[in-house]
Structure 1
Amino acid sequence: MMSISGFAYRIGAVSDPRGMSAKAARRALRTAAVPLIAAAIALGASPAIAQDREQVKVAFAHTLPNVEGKRLVAVTVTYPPGAKSLAHHHAASAFIYAYVLSGAIRSQVGDEPAKIYHAGESFYEMPGSHHRVSENASDKESASLLAVFVVDSKDEPLTTPDKAPGSQ
């Protein structure tokens, strides 16, 4: 399984409540509902939270048959107005080519100054780069980009957010 961000949650089979007392059946349903509610909150079910974060979707992922040990992974990143990504690093082996599909993206890689890229423009990140800023440059329009990774086949995860100062 490839993970860009987020997490998976497995819910086990729920027993058939027939034969249970009504009280036991209600308790079983409440117990099953708690992880679902927690997952919804963690995944940003709140509209206020969802609006300030990017949405990442894998477009394709394929092993490169003529480059042993490498794969090509493409993801679309969509930013609602004013949204941004956390500062992050990508897999150590990843070379990334980014093409702005719509809107305008503000990006800062390493110690270079931040730059705004508009639809039709592109930039790249060298392996080991620190992506300090990646955000929608507009507070009014959505923006999106296509990021294409050339990465070692076993290098996971593709993106690791920076740790907050003071966290372990």
Structure 2
Amino acid sequence: MKLKRILLPLLAATGMAAAGLAAAHGSGETVKPNFSHTIPNIPGKSLIALEVLYPPGSASLPHRHAKSAFIYAYVVSGSIASKVNDGPERIYKAGQSFYEEPGSSHPVSRNASKTQPAKLLAVFVVDSDDKELTTNDK
């Protein structure tokens, strides 16, 4: 898988595997590594940033992230519909952000537009030894 070939070297530098990262993403969107580094003053933690590019109308499958992962999500362009845990589904536009607490479920993550692309920057603060950043909900 092309995504794993891109992410494995990036995540290997932090001791993390790419297994499961692409699994929660549907066939329409693209995930690109943006940044990855261990956090020197917080032993055992890493910061990983990924760009999620959503073509018009595309969506991620319902998923959750590594149990240690605190995630800050920033909408770079377009608009993203998101639902975290049992909270309401909300639409976030370019310049807006939201977060996911460790262990959260993310049942909705999609481009809110059927005609315009959208781009999201997802920033993870995660245990450096977590092996799977993303897994599909069953």
TM-score normalised by the chain length of structure 2? 0.83
Match in the other structure for 1:117: 92
**2:135 and 2:33 mapped to 1: Cα distance?**
16
- 5+ residue gaps, structure 2: 1-7, 9-16
**1:139 and 1:133 mapped to 2: Cα distance?**
16
- Note the C-alpha offset of 1:66: 0.5
Alignment of 1:99-118 (within 5 A): 99-118=74-93
- Note the C-alpha offset of 1:142: 0.2
1:5 and 2:17 equivalent? Answer: no
Match in the other structure for 2:43: 68
**2:113 and 2:81 mapped to 1: Cα distance?**
9
Match in the other structure for 2:129: 154
**2:22 and 2:82 mapped to 1: Cα distance?**
19
Which structure has more relative contact order (CA 8 Å, sep 6+)? It is 2
Kindly report structure 1 stretches of 4+ aligned residues shifted beyond 3 Å. none
**1:78 and 1:102 mapped to 2: Cα distance?**
9
**1:156 and 1:55 mapped to 2: Cα distance?**
20
Match in the other structure for 1:90: 65
Alpha-carbon deviations, 1:93-128, whole Å to 9, x = none? 000000000000000000001000000000000000
Match in the other structure for 2:104: 129
SS at match of 2:42: coil
Higher strand proportion (structure 1 or 2): 2
**1:70 and 1:138 mapped to 2: Cα distance?**
35
- Note the C-alpha offset of 1:162: 1.4
Higher helix proportion (structure 1 or 2): 1
SS at match of 2:22: coil
**1:158 and 1:144 mapped to 2: Cα distance?**
19
Give the number of equivalent residue pairs.
119
Alpha-carbon deviations, 1:12-63, whole Å to 9, x = none? xxxxxxxxxxxxxxxxxxxxxxxxxxxxxxxxxxxxx95xx21111111110
User: Whose radius of gyration is greater, 1 or 2?
Assistant: 1
SS at match of 1:67: coil
- 5+ residue gaps, structure 1: 7-48, 164-168
- Note the C-alpha offset of 1:147: 0.4
SS at match of 2:107: strand
Letter in 1 for 2:22: S
- Note the C-alpha offset of 1:145: 0.5
- Note the C-alpha offset of 1:156: 1.9
* Pairwise CA RMSD: 1.3
Q: 1:144 aligns with which of 102, 116, 119?
A: 119
